[in-house]
Structure 1
Amino acid sequence: MKLILLALTLLVVSCATKRPEGQTEAEVLFKEAKDLVAKSRYIQATEKLNAIRSQYPYSFYATGAELMQADILFSQENYAESAAAYILFRDFHPKYEQLGYVVFRISESFFRQLPATFDRDLSAGVEAIKYYNELLLTYSNTEYVKDAQSRITMIEDMMEKKEIYIADFYFKTKDFFAAKARYQDILATLKNEQERPRIMARIEEADKKLTATN
Structure 2
Amino acid sequence: MQIVRFIFLILISTLLLISCAKEKQVKSVIQEKNLELQVLEAYEEGLNSLKRGDVLFAAKKFNEAEVLFPQSEWAPKSALMAAYSYYSQDYYEDAILELQRFVKVYPFYKDLDYAYYLLGLCWYEQIIDEKKDLQTIIKAKEKFIFLIKNYPETEYSLDAEFKIDIINDTLASKEMYIGRYYFKKKKWIPAINRFRAVIDEYETTIYTEEALHRLVEVYYTIGLKDEAKKYAKLLGYNYQSSKWYERSYSVFDKMYEKNKKKLKKDKKKNYSILKKFKSILSQNE
The residue correspondences of 1:35-114 to structure 2 (distance < 5 A) are 35-114=48-127
Which position in structure 1 is the counterpart of 2:173? Answer: 161
Which position in structure 2 is the counterpart of 1:208? Answer: 223
- Tell me if the contact between 1:187 and 1:196 (Cα under 8 Å) persists in the aligned partners: yes
TM-score relative to the length of structure 1: 0.78
Which position in structure 1 is the counterpart of 2:27? Answer: none
Larger Rg: 2
Larger proportion of helix = 2
Secondary structure, aligned partner of 2:49: helix
1:184 aligns with 2:196: yes
TM-score relative to the length of structure 2: 0.60
Shift of 1:61: 2.5
1: CA distance, partners of 2:36 / 2:212? 69
1:143 aligns with 2:155: yes
1:128 aligns with 2:140: yes
2: CA distance, partners of 1:182 / 1:51? 51
Higher relative contact order (CA 8 A, sep 6+): 1
Question: 1:87/1:204 Cα in 2 relative to 1: closer, same or farther (>3 Å)?
Answer: same
Secondary structure, aligned partner of 1:144: helix
1:25 aligns with 2:41: no
- Tell me if the contact between 1:160 and 1:186 (Cα under 8 Å) persists in the aligned partners: yes
Which position in structure 2 is the counterpart of 1:15? Answer: none
> What is the alpha-carbon root mean square deviation over aligned residues?
2.2
Unaligned runs of 5+ in 2: 1-34, 225-285
Shift of 1:54: 4.5
Shift of 1:205: 3.7
Secondary structure, aligned partner of 1:194: helix
- Tell me if the contact between 2:192 and 2:215 (Cα under 8 Å) persists in the aligned partners: no
Unaligned runs of 5+ in 1: 1-21, 210-214
1: CA distance, partners of 2:82 / 2:211? 47
Shift of 1:206: 5.1
Report the number of matched residues: 187
- Percentage of identical aligned residues: 23
What letter matches 1:29 in structure 2? A
1: CA distance, partners of 2:99 / 2:62? 16
